[in-house]
């Protein structure tokens, strides 16, 4: 008995294997390209802030945990809440970085996020557990909430009544919001207004 081997079936199997290898290579290239695209986008930092405010003592802001933040890549916003008056919750003011400092009182060792005199960065990072301050003097409407102050001066004799430093707002609340410089909100906290 003579055995005859048929070799014509080998060719289709080799062809299918080559197509499978090419498909895997193409999938790997597409996956690598897509991975590079997603990693090039800046990730929004994660942190929680806590704040307290008194009209006589100013504002204390604590990084309660999460990522270390670069002060060059973030900013704070003071937003009035609905309980401060009709439609004022749409009013918000970006906090000037030269008002934010690393000590509760201004001394020779005080450093600001940005130096008001020469514009240089003095505090470059805000780590979990670090506390920043805005003094009571820097919480005055013309400095901390200039848009609301100016609006009130132009249209209403009691414009500052809508700001957080107004005695009529004691017991009300406002929002302190933390954003990245590309306008992504990191954190928001409701802050009671104390005397």
pLDDT one-digit tens code per residue, 131-146: 999 999 998 888 888 7
Q: With 80 as the cut, is the pLDDT of residue 147 above it?
A: no
User: What mean pLDDT is predicted for residues 84-100?
Assistant: 79
pLDDT in tens, 10-31: 677 778 888 888 899 988 888 8
First-to-last C-alpha distance (Å) of the chain: 109
User: What mean pLDDT is predicted for residues 64-77?
Assistant: 94
What pLDDT is recorded for position 162?
73
User: What mean pLDDT is predicted for residues 189-195?
Assistant: 95
User: What mean pLDDT is predicted for residues 87-105?
Assistant: 84
What pLDDT is recorded for position 155?
44
What pLDDT is recorded for position 134?
95
How would residue 3 be classed by pLDDT, with cut points 50, 70 and 90? low
What pLDDT is recorded for position 40?
54
What pLDDT is recorded for position 93?
86
Alpha-carbon distances, residue 16 vs 13, 28, 120, 123 (angstroms):
5, 19, 65, 62
Please, are residues 113 and 72 in contact by the beta-carbon 8 Å criterion?
no
What pLDDT is recorded for position 160?
66
Mean pLDDT of the chain: 84
Q: With 90 as the cut, is the pLDDT of residue 130 above it?
A: yes
**Cα 123 from chain centroid (whole Å):** 16
The two three-digit tokens of residue 184, written as one number = 């992504």
Distance CA 155, CA 150 (A): 9
H/E run at residue 186:
strand 185-194
User: What mean pLDDT is predicted for residues 118-127?
Assistant: 92
Distance CA 56, CA 62 (A): 19
Cα four-point dihedral sign 159, 149, 142, 77: positive
User: What mean pLDDT is predicted for residues 120-124?
Assistant: 93
What pLDDT is recorded for position 156?
44
How would residue 157 be classed by pLDDT, with cut points 50, 70 and 90? very low
């Amino acid at each position: 008995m003579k055995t005859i081997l048929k070799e014509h079936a080998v060719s289709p199997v080799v062809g299918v294997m080559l197509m499978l290898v090419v498909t895997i290579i193409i999938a790997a290239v597409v996956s690598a390209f897509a991975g590079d695209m997603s990693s090039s986008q800046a990730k929004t930092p994660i942190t929680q802030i806590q704040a307290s405010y008194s009209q006589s003592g100013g504002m204390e802001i604590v990084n309660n945990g999460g990522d270390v933040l670069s002060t060059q890549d973030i900013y704070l916003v003071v937003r009035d809440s609905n309980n401060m008056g009709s439609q004022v919750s749409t009013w918000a003011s970006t906090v000037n970085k030269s008002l934010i400092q690393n000590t509760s009182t201004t001394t020779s060792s005080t450093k600001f996020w940005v130096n008001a005199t020469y514009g240089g960065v003095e505090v470059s990072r805000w780590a979990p557990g670090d506390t920043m301050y805005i003094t009571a003097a820097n919480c005055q409407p013309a400095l901390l909430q200039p848009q609301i102050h100016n609006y009130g001066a132009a249209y209403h004799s009691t414009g500052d009544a809508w700001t957080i430093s107004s005695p009529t707002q004691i017991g009300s609340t406002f929002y302190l919001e933390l954003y990245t410089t590309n306008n992504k909100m990191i954190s928001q906290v409701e802050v009671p207004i104390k005397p």
